[in-house]
Amino acid sequence: MFATAIIVFREVLEAALIIGIIAAATHDIPGSRRWLLAGLLAGLLGAGIVAAFTDVIGSFASGIGQELFNAIVLGIAVLMLAWHNIWMSSHGAELAASARATGGDIRDGRSECSALLLIVGLAVLREGSETVLFLYGIAASDSGRSSMLSGGLVGMTLGIAVGYAIYAGLLRVPLRWFFTATSVLVLLLAAGMASQAARFLIQADLLPSLASPLWDTSMSLPENGVAGMLLHSLVGYDSRPAGMQLVFYIVALLAIGAGMKWVRHPRQSNHSSKGAV
Amino acid sequence: MKKICFVALLLPQLVFAVDADYTMTIKDHCFQPAELTVPAGKKIKLLIENQDATAEEFDSFSLNREKVIAGHGSATLYIGPLNAGRYPFMGEFNAATAQGVIVAQ
């Protein structure tokens, strides 16, 4: 039962952290709750479908279909997180002011909400499909079914609890630090996902590893420990990364960071004229 | 046009689908062989055939690899090049029995 709980916890944790951070970051956007829920349901449905077609997906492109699929899902998620962060850095202040005063009528709010839906949906899809396969395997076997299923339930509850904790914790961050805190977290999530995408492409032999491993911290900070697990989900920690993963990580950080800076600067010069109108 | 070129590039790969360097089988939630010796410093292509009805996840922190293999399905993945040493792996969905190690020398 304990082993089952750990496995399910690991899978749920990553999705739960992403959802917790995104839910907090979009807290002030009108209607974001509905989009988040829609993303969650679509993700669960998608997870079931992906699980059912594991074999079909896996046999694409001479056996590297699963890696391609994961890398594409991660790639889209990185783009959506980047879009979210860049959008937030241009609308964030405006949003906090207007949403609290008038209920808010934000231009582009709808496209931000579809990004939100995709981010949540893809996170659930990716982590959920493995959980579905795992739990299905347990349900199909005869031995110790009930104790393992209850283990699964414990793991899932714990994962969701951690996700909720980060959500509740972020909402307690004072407003002047709030956007910085959430955008740094989203930035690191995106970079971590870019690194994971690189790992799948290396596994499929579509990218060179450059150096494998670049470092080995599996003794001091193992990935199957609690700290390693959390760091893996939050900032993309890898105890034995390939060099290419670090390249992807840094490029994602720099590109998204530059995008955020770029949209913030023209706005500052516009701000006074807009305020006058 | 670009699409056609892309498909054309993929074709030779599809034709030579099963030319793995090493093959491993999963049966009754165990890996066979449970210990696989491979040359150090060389990238290898590993084919894993799952003869069980339920899915398994090949998982290894030391190899930095994870891949789901469907029930009655098979999967290929690339490993290494590895330094000489022992690299444990497991089937995450049945970790009690599905344990193995790749030895690079």
Q: How far is B30 from chain A (nearest CA, A)?
A: 15
- pLDDT tens, residue by residue, A18-69: 999 999 998 888 888 899 999 999 999 999 999 999 988 988 877 889 999 9
From the first residue on, what is the mean pLDDT of each consecutive set of 10 residues in chain A (277 residues)? Answer: 86 94 88 92 95 88 88 96 89 62 53 87 93 86 75 93 96 90 95 96 92 89 90 94 96 96 68 41
Q: What is the pTM of this model?
A: 0.85
Residue B102 with chain A: CB contacts under 8 Å:
none
Distance CA A209, CA A244 (A): 5
- pLDDT tens, residue by residue, A35-44: 999 999 999 9
Average pLDDT over residues B90-99: 92
Quickly state the pLDDT bin for B57 (edges 50, 70, 90): very high
Query: Chain B neighbours among A 103-132 (CB < 8 Å)?
Result: 130
Distance CA A199, CA A232 (A): 13
* Contact predicate A25/A84, CB 8 Å: yes
Q: Is residue B12 included in any domain, yes or no?
A: no
Do A240 and B61 count as a contact with CB atoms less than 8 A apart?
Answer: yes
Q: What is the pLDDT of residue B10?
A: 52
Average pLDDT over residues B6-18: 49
A140 and B CB contact within 8 Å: yes
Query: Chain A neighbours among B 9-28 (CB < 8 Å)?
Result: 10, 13-14, 16-17
Q: How far is B2 from chain A (nearest CA, A)?
A: 18
- Coil, helix or strand for B97? coil
Token readout for B55 is 């899915």
Residue B72 with chain A: CB contacts under 8 Å:
55
Cβ atoms within 10 A of the Cβ of A59, count? 18
Cβ atoms within 10 A of the Cβ of B33, count? 12
B49 and A CB contact within 8 Å: no
Q: What is the pLDDT of residue A28?
A: 81
Range of the domain at B32: 18-104
CATH of the domain at B62: 2.60.40.420
Among A263-267, B19-23, B63-67, the least confident range: A263-267
Q: What is the pLDDT of residue A187?
A: 96
Q: What is the pLDDT of residue A2?
A: 81
Question: Residues with Cβ < 8 Å from B39, sequence gap 6 or more?
Answer: B104, B105
Distance CA B98, CA B76 (A): 18
| DSSP characters over B13-78 | HHHT----SEEEEEETTEEESSEEEE-TTS-EEEEEEE-SSS-EEEEETTTTEEEEE-TT-EEEEE
Q: What is the pLDDT of residue A108?
A: 55
* Contact predicate A12/A131, CB 8 Å: yes
Identify the H or E element spanning B12.
Answer: helix B2-15
How many structural domains compose chain B?
Answer: 1
Q: What is the pLDDT of residue A31?
A: 84
Nearest CA among A26, A21, A114, A89 for reference residue A258: A89
